[in-house]
Amino acid sequence: MCGIVAYIGPKDATAFLLEGLARLEYRGYDSAGVAVTGKSGGLKVCKAKGRVADLAAAVPARFKGTTGIGHTRWATHGEPSDANAHPHTDNAGNIAVVHNGIIENAEELRARLTADGAVFHSETDTEVLAHLVAAHTGEDTELEEAVRAALKHVVGTYGIAVVDARRPDRIVVARNGSPIVLGLGEKEMFAASDVSALVRYTRQVVHLEDGELAVVRADGFRTFTEDARTVTRQPSTVDWEVGAFDTGGYEHYLLKEIHEQPAAVERTLSGRLDERFATAHLGGLNLDARELREIRRVKILGCGSAYYAGEMGAQLIEELARIPAHSEPASEFRYRNPVIEADTLYVAVSQSGETYDTLAAVQEIKRKGGRVLGVVNTVGSAIARECDGGIYLHAGPEISVASTKAFTSTVIAFALLALHFGRIHDLSPADGRRIVGALKALPGHIRQILEQQDAIAKLAAEYADNAGMMFIGRVRGYPVAREGAQKLKEISYVHAEAYPASELKHGPLALISPELPTVALVPDDELLDKNLTTLGEIKARSGRVLAIAHREPDAKLADHCIVVPKSEPELDPLLLNIPLQLLAYHAAVALGRDVDKPRNLAKSVTVE
Ligand code: F6R
pLDDT tens, position by position, 498-551: 999 999 999 999 999 999 999 999 999 999 999 999 999 999 999 999 999 999
192 phi and psi, to 5 degrees?
-160, 170
pLDDT of residue 583: 98
Q: Across the chain, which distance is largest between two alpha carbons, in Å?
A: 83
Sequence length of the chain is 608
From the CA of 401, give the closest atom in ligand 1: 8
What is the phi/psi pair of residue 593, to 5°?
Answer: -80, 165
Spatial separation of the C-alpha atoms in residues 296 and 465, rounded to whole Å: 48
The Cα 217–Cα 84 span in angstroms is 28
Peptide bond into 87 cis (omega under 30): yes
Q: Is the CB of 605 under 6 A from ligand 1?
A: yes
Residues 151 and 129: their CA atoms lie apart, in Å, by 8
For residue 180, give the nearest of 65, 99, 89 by alpha carbon: 99
Whether 352 is in the pocket of ligand 1, judged by its Cβ within 6 Å, is: yes
Please, is 542 exposed, middle or buried when counting C-beta atoms within 10 Å of its C-beta (0-12, 13-18, 19+)?
Answer: exposed
Q: Check pocket membership of 384 for ligand 1, CB cut-off 6 A.
A: no
355 CB under 6 A from ligand 1? yes
Question: Which ligand 1 atom minimizes the distance to the CA of 487?
Answer: 7
Residue 29: its pLDDT value, please? 82
With a 6 Å cutoff on the Cβ, whether 260 touches ligand 1 is: no
Distance of CA 507 to the CA centre of its chain: 34
Cα 555 to ligand 1 centroid, rounded to whole Å: 37
112 pairs with which residues across the strands? none
Count CA atoms within 13 Å of residue 318 on its CB side. Answer: 14
Residue 66 Cα to ligand 1 middle (Å) = 36
The predicted pLDDT at position 27 comes to 75
CA–chain centroid gap for 37, Å, is: 33
Separation of alpha carbons 89 and 94, rounded Å: 7
The pLDDT tens digits for 488-502 are 999 999 999 999 999
Kindly state the helix (H) or strand (E) to which residue 180 belongs, with its residue range: none
Instruction: Name the residue of 311, 362, 593, 605 to mutate for ligand 1: max ligand atoms within 8 A of Cβ.
Output: 605
Nearest ligand 1 atom, CA 351: 14
Per-residue model confidence (pLDDT) at position 77? 75
Tell me if 604 CB under 6 Å of ligand 1.
yes
Q: List for the chain the helix, strand, coil content (%; round to 5).
A: 40, 25, 40
pLDDT given for residue 597 in this prediction = 87
Confirm or reject: Cβ of 398 under 6 Å from ligand 1: no
Can you tell me the distance from the alpha carbon of 28 to that of 34, in angstroms, rounded to the nearest whole number? Answer: 17
Any ligand 1 atom below 6 A from CB of 577 = no
Q: What is the CA(410)–ligand 1 centre distance, in A?
A: 12
List the chain residues with pLDDT less than 50: none
Q: Give the closest residue (by CA) to ligand 1 atom 9.
A: 304
Nearest-atom index, ligand 1, CA of 406: 14
| Distance from residue 397's CA to the centre of ligand 1 (Å) | 13
Q: Which of 194, 604, 607 to mutate for ligand 1's pocket (most ligand atoms within 8 Å of CB)?
A: 604
> Atom of ligand 1 at shortest distance to CA of 407?
10
Q: Are 102 and 73 in contact (CB under 8 A)?
A: no
124 Cβ below 6 A of ligand 1: no
Sheet containing strand 297-302, edge to edge, reads 325-329, 297-302, 344-350, 371-376, 389-392
Facing residues of 302 across strands?
329
Asked if residue 330 has its Cβ within 6 Å of ligand 1, the reply is no
Neighbours of 554 (CB within 10 A): 10
In the reported structure, the alpha carbon of residue 205 is separated from the centroid of ligand 1 by a whole-number distance in angstroms of 24
Distance 406 CA to ligand 1 centre (A): 9
CA–CA–CA angle 206, 211, 215 (5° rounding): 55
Indicate the pTM of the whole model: 0.84
DSSP one-letter code for 87: P
Sheet of 495-500, strands arranged across: 495-500, 468-473, 518-522, 545-549, 560-563
Ligand 1 within 6 A of 408 CB?
no
What's at 409, amino acid-wise? Answer: S
Nearest 5°: CA angle at 173, between 170 and 179?
Answer: 150
Whole-angstrom distance, CA of residue 203 vs CA of residue 241: 9
435 CA to middle of ligand 1, Å?
27
Give the pLDDT of residue 1: 65
**Residue numbers annotated as active site:** 2, 603
Q: Is residue 90 classed as helix, strand or coil in its secondary structure?
A: coil
Task: Please name the residue whose Cα sits nearest to atom 3 of ligand 1.
Answer: 304
Position in ligand 1 atom list of the atom nearest CA 306: 10
